[in-house]
Amino acid sequence: MKRYPNLFLVGAPKCGTTSMAYYLGQHPDIFAPVVKEASYFGADLTTRTPGRTIELYLSLYNKWSTQRYALDASAQYFVSGSAAREISDCVPNAQILIMVRDPAEAVYSQFFQNRFDGVESIAKFEAALAAEEKRLQQGRPPRRGTLEQLFYSKIYAYTSNISRYRSAFGSERVTVLVFDDFKRDARKEFIKISELLGLDPSCADTVDFSVRNTAKRARSQRLGWFAASPPRWAGRLTGPFLSKAQRLKIRNTLSRINTIPSNNPAMDPKTRRLLAKKFAPEVERLSLLLDRDLTHWSQVDE
């Protein structure tokens, strides 16, 4: 019998999902595999990387034993048009967690994450935004990651993406968290999620709530790309001697050594105003969907 994970943190990207996955993985009743972004679901996503097999995906959860939940924290599921239904077909009683953030801040952060990962080839943020429509028409996947990572407006079309999960699972199984609350008090949000999942929240006293996946830059862009997406020859060379877990550990070590904490440059005020205007209708729709006023995200100083 196939045993799928039953707790999915599906995005949105750059809204605190890496930190949240790290916190949830410390709960004694949640199993978190060594691979955060399992990224098995989402058959419609465009990528040059061969799709993960069901056997390889489920092998990540071989050590899941008595924990009530097993976590799959794959932010790519948020932008996929098919992932919600695919997950529902396999795990109809799954719990879904979604995190949202001021879309102007999120899209800016996503751009620099894409640059770090070698997904984004355009060096200037404004030019990358302008290239979105052309990329949609061309449909060519990048060397690394998925093409959908470059569709900045589509990623942060919160209401349509959230509604897709609510339709697949029912609103009672879909929990939406606001980044502002998470940033203000991560411990409180962790306790809230634990209670929603029917878990004992008292372990919050022992959880490490340090922030993960903050802004950064690579010492060597090539080494960073190698660690994030090794060429096939590297797998063929090391496969006979090292297990998948050992190879992943080496990649993580290389990535850690190659990473330098660094603040992203400040966004141009003009660009910030344009993004606020662009996303204002979406923010209004999200406010209605969540029954919470988030329109301050669209208010910027002139």
Q: For residue 255, what are its two tokens?
A: 């990535």
Cα separation values, 248 from 33, 216, 243, Å: 12, 21, 9
For 121, the domain range is 7-215+263-298
The b/e string for 236-262 (b: 16+ C-beta within 10 A; e otherwise) is: eeeeeeeeeeebeeebeebbeebbeee
* pLDDT number for residue 218: 63
In-domain check, residue 81: yes
In-domain check, residue 231: no
Profile the chain (302 residues) by mean pLDDT over runs of 10 residues: 92 94 97 88 74 84 96 94 96 98 95 85 91 80 70 90 97 97 96 97 95 65 68 73 73 72 83 94 97 93 64
**200-230 tens-digit pLDDT:** 999 999 999 998 765 556 666 666 667 666 7
Tell me, what CATH number does 64's domain have?
3.40.50.300
In-domain check, residue 254: no
How many domains are contained in the chain? 1
Q: CA-to-CA distance for 64 and 233, rounded, in angstroms?
A: 31
In-domain check, residue 163: yes
pTM (predicted TM-score): 0.84
Coil, helix or strand at residue 95: strand
* pLDDT number for residue 113: 87
In-domain check, residue 291: yes
* pLDDT number for residue 67: 97
* pLDDT number for residue 145: 65
In-domain check, residue 244: no
* pLDDT number for residue 53: 86
Compute the chain's Rg from CA coordinates: 19
* pLDDT number for residue 264: 79
Q: CA-to-CA distance for 287 and 2, rounded, in angstroms?
A: 39
* pLDDT number for residue 87: 98
In-domain check, residue 252: no
* pLDDT number for residue 194: 98
* pLDDT number for residue 118: 78
* pLDDT number for residue 149: 81
In-domain check, residue 137: yes
* pLDDT number for residue 191: 97
* pLDDT number for residue 14: 93
* pLDDT number for residue 36: 79
